[in-house]
Amino acid sequence: MNPYPHPLIAKEGWLILALALSLAALVQAWAGVVWAWPLWLVALFVLQFFRDPGRIAPSGEDLILAPADGRIVAVLPCVDPYRQCPAVKISVFMNVFNVHSNRSPVQGLVRQVTYHPGLFVNADLDKASEANERNAIVLETPQGHHLTCVQVAGLIARRILCYVAQGDHLLAGQRYGFIRFGSRVDLYLPPEVRVCVTIGDKVRATHSVLAQWPALA
């Protein structure tokens, strides 16, 4: 299965992009380019926000890949609130200029999908993980490892989209969701993983390795 059976411009933005382009074109036709150019800039912003490039995951069953483009804002020990076990949390913050489609960090079976309503505080803040609207999926890899991947809404983000359900199978790097206009994704990993990133690192969904599973005995 091709993990990227989708167009280069995310379907979530087609209507918004069509409206932005139509409005800019109408204003230019009626009032000229001087009045229309701010609307063309808005349309350009919408176009770049909803870009959704296909990416091929690096090979390796021990790799845990970035689920989103952005900047690492947290790497810390904690308790996974969805599986109630010790974990290492790695958080990726997406600003409005990052690609916002979300990709599976591993190949695995979706064991659980949990949605929580909440607030819309700045997703750059760590309290957003517990206070904001969020959607979590628990994945089990073919090797029996478990992790939790959480889409978290942000200050501007008002729509979390998740396209998988319990029992679905995902490939590493496969697109499974989208968050509109700035947000974060939290990964809760077993403490024994080897973390490969630090706070401040910039990562790319599917291409960047966040951590590695321990070697099998």
Active-site residue flag, 101: no
**pLDDT tens track, the chain, 217 positions:** 456 667 788 888 899 999 999 999 999 999 988 999 999 999 999 999 899 988 889 988 899 999 999 999 999 999 999 999 999 999 999 988 899 899 999 999 999 999 988 766 666 667 767 778 889 999 999 999 999 999 998 766 567 899 999 999 999 999 999 987 768 899 999 999 999 999 999 999 999 999 999 876 4
So what's the pLDDT on residue 217?
47
Beta-bridge mates of residue 200? none
**N-term to C-term CA, the chain:** 30
Catalytic, out of 91, 104, 183, 208? 183
Backbone torsion region of residue 50, taken as left when φ is above 0, otherwise alpha when ψ lies between -120 and 50, otherwise beta: alpha
Distance CA 200, CA 75 (A): 10
Distance CA 77, CA 69 (A): 22
* Beta strand 101-103 pairing with 175-179: antiparallel
